[in-house]
Amino acid sequence: MGTTPVVPTGILEKLTSLIYLDYVLKVLGVIVFAIAFINSWGHATTLEKIGFIIAPIMWFVGARFTKIYR
């Protein structure tokens, strides 16, 4: 027996199937973060600046840990 595909009926389902809403939200999130990061850079202390630089590196290494070290 085959299954019939479910056709989106709601406005949100149609919008999500029409555009990749998850990618749009991710891109907007990165843009908002970059603007906030750039605006706060001048007011940050040296320790905060070091944290801003090291945190994404640690996240990247942690996300790729199994691929890098195995």
**54 belongs to a structural domain:** yes
**19 belongs to a structural domain:** yes
Of residues 9 and 48, which shows the higher confidence score? 48
Instruction: Encode 10-43: b = buried (16+ Cβ within 10 Å), e = exposed.
Output: eeeeeeeeeeeeeeeeeeeeeeeeeeeeeeeeee
Q: Give the tens place of pLDDT for each residue, 42-64.
A: 999 999 999 989 998 888 888 77
Total tally of structural domains belonging to the chain = 1
**Per-residue pLDDT at 25:** 82
**Per-residue pLDDT at 61:** 82
| Range of the structural domain that residue 35 is part of | 11-69
**57 belongs to a structural domain:** yes
**6 belongs to a structural domain:** no
**36 belongs to a structural domain:** yes
**46 belongs to a structural domain:** yes
**Per-residue pLDDT at 31:** 92
**1 belongs to a structural domain:** no
